């Protein structure tokens, strides 16, 4: 699931999507990637290994899907469920594919460039049977067309959700290039503080929210950090509620602390950018949390040092 990922391949190395390009393979089914049909399909599956991300950040959670949201819609992280948000204009197709070698079946959401935005591996036979009942579309069909989502507020003076949706649109590159226009508080901090932040909230039992981005999709979680770990190579791991989050600090080129209006007023978010200036992960507080939790998070983020020039 990288930016150059050609898509999943079978045991013989052949792309499992060949059937989508006119050579129909019985192990590959194109399904309707448009909302609300896609939402209905996803929420049918109860036992899924859902993965979103790329080489720098990745989130992994097993379970069932909450109703996914579209960019521009309301957003909430549903405890115990897989929380997915997509840019309806960026998801070009959805494919259910069976790997001939392992027999595993997975749903793949793809952008217009064929990059994997999200993957959900179906873990139960019941879910695989339900996938066979999903509404199909003809080869060459896509989800492109007029978006039914409402207009997204301008990020320059928008709230927390407007910031997330600006990242969802293009990785946040346009926003970052013009970030001097942002009317909220923001500063650059050292990416090296991220492991300490995760260790600290873990030791305090302070819940956090994490969103990880891929092309046209984000997957989010929220809750207490149960375990943290890191490797010599700079990879950081955290078990957040029911999710596993992995960040390759060696691939993080910039880290920003951004405050925007959320449920409890101005709320800080740690934004991690890759070498291309795309935001790959956000650590923050989502939705309604205890006032003491919000105050503790703001106290922690205010103590983070600026990045030295």
Q: What are the start-end ranges of the E strands in the chain? A: 28-31, 48-53, 57-63, 69-70, 83-86, 91-98, 105-111, 116-122, 186-189, 208-214, 217-223, 225-230, 235-240, 243-248, 254-262, 265-273, 279-284
Encoded tokens for 140: 């060459």
Q: Tens digits of per-residue pLDDT, 144-170?
A: 554 455 566 789 989 999 999 999 999
Burial classification of residue 93, based on how many CB atoms lie within 10 Å of its CB (0-12 exposed, 13-18 middle, 19 or more buried):
buried
Question: What's this model's pTM, rounded to 2 decimal places?
Answer: 0.88
174 pLDDT exceeds 60? yes
Q: Mean of the per-residue pLDDT values for the chain?
A: 87
- The DSSP code for 306 is B
Q: For residues 163 and 184, give the distance between their C-alpha atoms in angstroms, rounded to a whole number.
A: 11
209 pLDDT exceeds 90? yes
Identify whether the C-beta of residue 54 lies closer than 8 Å to the C-beta of residue 48.
no
Q: For residues 6 and 55, give the distance between their C-alpha atoms in angstroms, rounded to a whole number.
A: 14
Predicted confidence at residue 5, as pLDDT, reads: 46
- In the chain, which residue ranges form alpha helices assigned H by DSSP? 37-44, 125-131, 160-170, 173-177, 194-204, 291-302
Could you give the count of Cα atoms lying within 13 Å of 50 in the half-sphere of its Cβ?
A: 30
Q: For residues 148 and 34, give the distance between their C-alpha atoms in angstroms, rounded to a whole number.
A: 10
Identify whether the C-beta of residue 135 lies closer than 8 Å to the C-beta of residue 31.
yes
Identify whether the C-beta of residue 61 lies closer than 8 Å to the C-beta of residue 82.
yes
Question: What does the DSSP assignment read for 97-138?
Answer: EE-TTT--EEEEEEETTS-EEEEEEE-SHHHHHHHTTSPB--
Q: Tens digits of per-residue pLDDT, 108-122?
A: 999 999 999 999 999
Identify whether the C-beta of residue 95 lies closer than 8 Å to the C-beta of residue 63.
no
16 pLDDT exceeds 50? no
Q: Tens digits of per-residue pLDDT, 70-102?
A: 999 999 999 999 999 999 999 999 999 988 777
Handedness of CA 65, 221, 277, 266 (dihedral sign): positive
Q: For residues 18 and 163, give the distance between their C-alpha atoms in angstroms, rounded to a whole number.
A: 37
19 pLDDT exceeds 50? no
Residue 104: CB atoms within 10 A of its CB come to 15
């Amino acid at each position: 699931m990288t930016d150059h990922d050609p898509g999943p391949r079978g045991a013989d190395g052949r792309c499992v999507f060949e059937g989508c390009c006119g050579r129909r393979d019985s192990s590959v089914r194109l399904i309707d990637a448009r909302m609300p049909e896609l939402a209905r399909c996803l929420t049918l599956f109860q036992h899924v290994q859902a993965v979103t991300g790329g080489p720098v950040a990745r989130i992994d959670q097993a379970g069932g899907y909450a109703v996914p949201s579209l960019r521009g819609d309301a957003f909430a992280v549903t405890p115990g469920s897989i929380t997915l948000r997509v840019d309806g204009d960026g998801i070009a197709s959805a494919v259910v594919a069976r790997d001939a070698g392992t027999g595993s079946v997975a749903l793949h959401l793809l952008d217009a460039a064929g990059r994997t935005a999200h993957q959900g591996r179906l873990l139960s036979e019941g879910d695989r049977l339900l996938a066979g009942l999903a509404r199909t579309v003809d080869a060459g069909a896509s989800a492109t067309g007029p978006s039914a989502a409402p207009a997204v507020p301008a990020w320059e003076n928008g709230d927390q959700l407007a910031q997330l949706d600006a990242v969802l649109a293009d990785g946040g590159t346009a926003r970052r290039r013009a970030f001097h226009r942002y009317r909220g508080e923001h500063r650059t901090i050292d990416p090296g503080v991220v492991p300490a932040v995760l260790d600290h909230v873990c030791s305090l039992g302070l819940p956090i929210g994490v969103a990880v981005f891929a092309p046209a999709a984000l997957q989010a979680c929220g809750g207490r950090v149960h375990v943290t770990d890191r490797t010599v190579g700079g990879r950081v791991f955290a078990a957040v509620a029911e999710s596993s989050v992995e960040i390759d600090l060696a691939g993080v080129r910039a880290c920003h602390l951004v405050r925007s209006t959320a449920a409890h007023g101005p709320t800080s978010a740690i934004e991690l950018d890759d070498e291309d200036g795309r935001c790959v992960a956000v650590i923050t507080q989502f939705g309604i949390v205890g006032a003491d939790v919000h105050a503790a998070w703001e106290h922690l983020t205010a103590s983070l040092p600026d990045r030295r020039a």
